[in-house]
């Protein structure tokens, strides 16, 4: 039976969505792993999004909280707002109370990836504060650590990401994930899927 990995994200301007696609590719490269990409519901009106200059959403299906229980492992992606996850993702987590009561997510591996506006804008605080959501569900946090290798230590170019997960800098919105950031995302997806596969195999 295939290991089901879900990539669940929120993206306002498309930066996190770009990382999500690369993470999906990385996870799908692991034999025996089935990957599905989802986005969480938007809580802002079309009028507000229009004033913000937000582009149309991707065609990824909208996930409901209950559908999380179907996955063997979940990677959550979101932009930062003042060093923490965006309210859209927080609202989604707030709606998972039923899963918490049933302990439906307990023991499932989970990972995080993110986008920030600047280098000091939350590449570590955003995932660090998001770990509380996983903890209350009893999920197993799987950080990417330094498994990406030498490129995470590269000081010649600006790149997002941290031991917590893959990341990108959006700047004023015009900066898109670089090749290194996308490679980091691919690696995280592959690394996470391998661990999810081992965990499911061990419980079979």
114-126: pLDDT as tens digits: 999 888 888 999 9
Domain that holds residue 41: 3-203
Classified as helix, coil or strand, 99 is helix
CATH number of the domain where residue 115 is located: 3.40.50.360
Burial of 117 (0-12, 13-18, 19+ CB in 10 A): middle
CA distance 17 to 181: 13
pLDDT for res 38 = 98
Sign of torsion over alpha carbons 133, 26, 33, 200: negative
Alpha carbon 134 to chain centroid distance?
A: 12
Domains identified in the chain, total number: 1
Walk along the chain (204 residues) and give the pLDDT tens digit of each residue: 899 999 999 999 999 999 999 999 999 999 999 999 999 999 988 899 888 888 889 999 999 999 999 999 999 999 999 999 999 999 999 999 999 999 999 999 999 999 998 888 889 999 999 999 999 999 999 999 999 987 777 777 878 889 999 999 998 888 899 999 999 999 999 999 999 999 988 654
Query: What are the distances in angstroms from CA 104 to CA 62, 68, 72, 120, 194?
Result: 20, 9, 11, 35, 22
pLDDT for res 204 = 42
Query: What are the distances in angstroms from CA 100 to CA 8, 134, 185?
Result: 18, 10, 28
CA distance 157 to 183: 14
User: In which element (H, E) is residue 4 found?
Assistant: strand 3-9
pLDDT for res 82 = 92
**Contact between residue 187 and residue 25 where contact means Cβ atoms under 8 Å apart:** no
């Amino acid at each position: 039976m295939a290991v089901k990995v879900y990539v669940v994200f929120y993206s306002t301007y498309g930066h996190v969505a770009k990382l999500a696609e690369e993470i999906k590719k990385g996870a799908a490269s692991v034999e025996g792993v089935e990957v599905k990409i989802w986005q969480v519901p938007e809580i802002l009106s079309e009028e507000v999004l229009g004033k913000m200059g937000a582009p149309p959403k991707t065609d990824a299906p909208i996930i409901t909280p209950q559908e999380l229980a179907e996955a063997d492992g979940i990677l959550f992606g979101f932009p930062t707002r003042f060093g923490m996850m965006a309210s859209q993702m927080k609202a989604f987590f707030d709606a998972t109370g039923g899963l918490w009561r049933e302990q439906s997510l307990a023991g499932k591996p989970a990972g995080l990836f993110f986008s920030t506006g600047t280098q000091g804008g939350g590449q570590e605080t955003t995932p660090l504060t998001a770990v509380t959501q996983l903890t209350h569900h009893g999920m197993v946090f799987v950080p990417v650590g330094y498994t990406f290798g030498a490129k995470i230590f590269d000081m010649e170019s600006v790149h997002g990401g941290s031991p917590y997960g893959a990341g990108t800098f959006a700047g004023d919105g015009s900066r898109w994930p670089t090749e290194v950031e996308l490679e980091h995302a691919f690696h995280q997806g592959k690394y996470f899927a391998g661990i999810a596969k081992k965990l499911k195999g061990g419980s079979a």
